[in-house]
Structure 1
Amino acid sequence: MSIELALKESMTIPGALGVALVDYDSGMALGTMGGGDWFDLEVAAAGNTEVVRAKLRVMASLSLNDSIEDILITLHRQYHLIRPLTTAKGPTTLFLYLVLDRERSNLALARHQLKRIEGNLTV
């Protein structure tokens, strides 16, 4: 599945407000969909690269032999879901960043659907 199709499918997740595919090495979004004047996905994508980098640094400091499945940030009205991508070749420097309206979303379903989209995405 292409990046554009993955972003479109992510936006069909109930409650989705915006989605981005982000490279945490550069902080650049490879693609975004949704968001708007009230929520700049480019800025959010760049900022969340720091979240991913910080967690990876902590894991390395603790010598954890593990990987991040996803990171959830819970706000009063939104969920922010960060899912680092893994391919058949192993981990990448990419993550999917999904913003959900908390009142209209089902977090367990969103995590499941984002995992399925990750499995079909080819970059």
Structure 2
Amino acid sequence: MSVDGAIGAALVDYESGMSLGMSGGGQGLDLEVASAGNTEVIRAKVRTLEALRIDDSIEDILITLGSQYHLIRLLERGGSRLFLYLALDRSRANLALARHSLRAIDKELSL
């Protein structure tokens, strides 16, 4: 939540759709719903890559709304398939710095 413009953040298991932890959110952002919905986004993209026979992995996914950015950073930890989800207020956020912050968190995160 220390990223400029952060509205909410969650760590999610995308095999089950379960949130392992979250911070922020509130009236304008239900992190439980967002976590479950973004699980479906990731599953669809993984299936698409498989159907296209693209042998590569997803680093992150950006969803741009009129007033928000939603960043999804995929993580692989000991066989667990997780993602970091970060919702940002577009008027206060720096997208490049937010992506850099998620990469740094990815490197430092141990489970």
Q: TM-score, normalised by structure 1?
A: 0.87
Question: Percent identical across equivalent pairs?
Answer: 62
2:36 corresponds to which letter in structure 1?
A: A
- In structure 2, list runs of 5 or more residues that go unmatched: none
Q: Deviations over 1:67-119 (max 9, x none)?
A: 101000000000000000134x6x74100000000010110110001100010
Deviation at 1:39, TM superposition (A): 1.2
2:81 corresponds to which letter in structure 1?
A: T
Q: How many residues align?
A: 111
**Distance in 1, Cα, partners of 2:76 & 2:21:** 18
- In structure 1, list runs of 5 or more residues that go unmatched: 1-10
**Distance in 1, Cα, partners of 2:80 & 2:70:** 20
Q: Does 1:72 align with 2:62?
A: yes
1:110 corresponds to which letter in structure 2?
A: A
Q: State the SS of the aligned residue for 2:91.
A: coil
Q: TM-score, normalised by structure 2?
A: 0.96
Give the alignment's Cα RMSD to 1 decimal: 1.1
In the other structure, the counterpart of 1:59 is: 49
**Distance in 2, Cα, partners of 1:84 & 1:19:** 14
CA contact (8 A) 1:15 1:101 kept: yes
- Structure 1 stretches of 4+ with a deviation exceeding 6 A read none
1:105 corresponds to which letter in structure 2?
A: A
